[in-house]
Amino acid sequence: MTQQDFNLSFFSKQGLNPTGFTLIESLIAIVIVAMVASAAAVGMGVSIATQEDARLAQLATQVAQQQVSFLMEKPFASMVDYAGTEALGQMKAPLDAGATDRSKVLTGEWAKLSRVTTLTSEPTTFTQYNSFVVDGMRIDVQVKGPDGTVYATIRRHRTNEASL
């Protein structure tokens, strides 16, 4: 008895066809492959959405830091001129070197963000120095995405140099 004769007799006793797959086996294989492929597609979609959020958060942090730096460089009394809300696509760009006009608007990916700058009078009292009070301003910058999600918030205190 050869190996081929043995295989044929073994499969025929078991009721199996040694020459290929049955229709049921093929359908089960297709279902398994489809489930794995759909799970991979969902994973890719979640990954892409997470990557987009991370990119917007990075851009939002940069634009919030630029605004705080811009306000820290301005004279204390003129800081209040820059408080307010900059809507989607209307965020002002940082000044170019030597420029005095801040009318340039950020474009591209930056246009997907909006910024709210709030300035609040906040004197600081130093109790350890006979309750010495220093006039100052709290700077709050909040950057939001197109759906209103807050991607960055920065809070900083600035002392009025004239009161020292």
Tally of structural domains, the chain? 1
The reply to whether 114 falls in a domain is yes
CA distance to 38, 82, 85, 112, per residue, from 47 (Å): 14, 37, 32, 20
The reply to whether 33 falls in a domain is yes
The reply to whether 11 falls in a domain is no
The reply to whether 126 falls in a domain is yes
What is the average pLDDT across 124-138? 89
The reply to whether 128 falls in a domain is yes
The reply to whether 83 falls in a domain is yes
Q: Up-side HSE of residue 30: CA atoms within 13 Å toward CB?
A: 7
The answer to whether residue 128 scores a pLDDT higher than 80 is yes
Query: How much is the mean pLDDT over the chain?
Result: 84
Q: Tell me the per-residue pLDDT of 80-115, one tens digit each, with 9 for 90 and over.
A: 889 999 999 899 888 777 777 788 898 888 899 999
In eight-state DSSP terms, residue 148 is S
The answer to whether residue 152 scores a pLDDT higher than 90 is yes
The reply to whether 27 falls in a domain is yes
Instruction: Write down the pLDDT at residue 148.
Output: 92
* Domain carrying residue 86: 20-163
Contacts of 124 (CB under 8 A, 6+ apart): 133, 134, 136, 157, 159
Which pTM does this prediction carry?
A: 0.69
The reply to whether 13 falls in a domain is no
Instruction: Write down the pLDDT at residue 26.
Output: 86
Q: Tell me the per-residue pLDDT of 57-81, one tens digit each, with 9 for 90 and over.
A: 999 999 999 999 999 988 998 888 8
